[in-house]
Amino acid sequence: MTEKKAIVYVDMDHVLCDYATGFARHKAEYPNLAFPQSVPGLYESLDPMPDAIESYMWLHEHSKLDVYVLTAPSIKNPHCYAEKRIWVENHLGMAVVQNLIISPHKHLSKGDYLIDDMPSGKGQDRFDGKLILYGSEEFPNWVSVTKYFKSQIEC
């Protein structure tokens, strides 16, 4: 009998992608715009957060886990949908593009864990599984998140 895999969702902005640094860079380029993120190029250009790529791929390749990227779009910026898809291909590869979910309603995705920097706003507070609040005291970075998963699934 095969063991059921735990389903894990991973957010993009401020979790996989360094949105803060990318936004500051974009704002400096377009200082007179109220919403510089509306200029194409921001989402695609974001740097990965420290240890994000290695940690994601470790989760992705783990035999006990089924891992998806779950990101809410900036609905006023249609190009962000394409750029998020391009970012995932560039940094995580086509196998992860297969598992990319772009949804403003995260609670509709059923699973065991959601790694997200926001406790609410896109359905995080109604998610059925455990919310791993990235950036919190308990989970300040990817090292702490990976350590937690190791303790949960490798015992």
Active site residue 112: no
- Separation between Cα atoms, residue 12 and residue 65, nearest integer Å: 18
Question: Is 103 an interacting residue with respect to Mg ion (CB under 5 A)?
Answer: no
- Find the catalytic residue in 13, 18, 116, 117: 13
Q: Which helix (H) or strand (E) holds 6?
A: strand 6-10
User: What is each CA distance from 16 to 35, 88, 144, in whole angstroms?
Assistant: 22, 10, 14
Question: Is 73 an interacting residue with respect to Mg ion (CB under 5 A)?
Answer: no
Which listed residue (26, 49, 67, 117) binds Mg ion by CB under 5 A?
A: 117
> What residues pair up with 15 in beta bridges, in sequence order?
none
Of 3-11, 27-35, 57-65, 137-145, the segment contacting Mg ion by CB under 5 A is: 3-11
Active site residue 13: yes
Question: Is 13 an interacting residue with respect to Mg ion (CB under 5 A)?
Answer: yes
Question: Is 14 an interacting residue with respect to Mg ion (CB under 5 A)?
Answer: yes
SS3 category, 146? helix
- Identity of the residue, 18 or 117, whose beta carbon is nearer to Mg ion in the bound complex: 117
| Phi then psi dihedrals of residue 124, to 5 deg | -60, -40
Of 62-70, 76-84, 109-117, 142-150, the segment contacting Mg ion by CB under 5 A is: 109-117
Which listed residue (6, 8, 9, 11) binds Mg ion by CB under 5 A?
A: 11
Q: What letter does residue 135 receive in the DSSP assignment?
A: T
Phi-psi group of 63: left, alpha or beta (phi > 0 → left; psi -120 to 50 → alpha; rest → beta): alpha
Q: What letter does residue 9 receive in the DSSP assignment?
A: E
Residues that bind Mg ion (CB under 5 A): 11, 13-14, 117
Q: Which residues are catalytic?
A: 11, 13
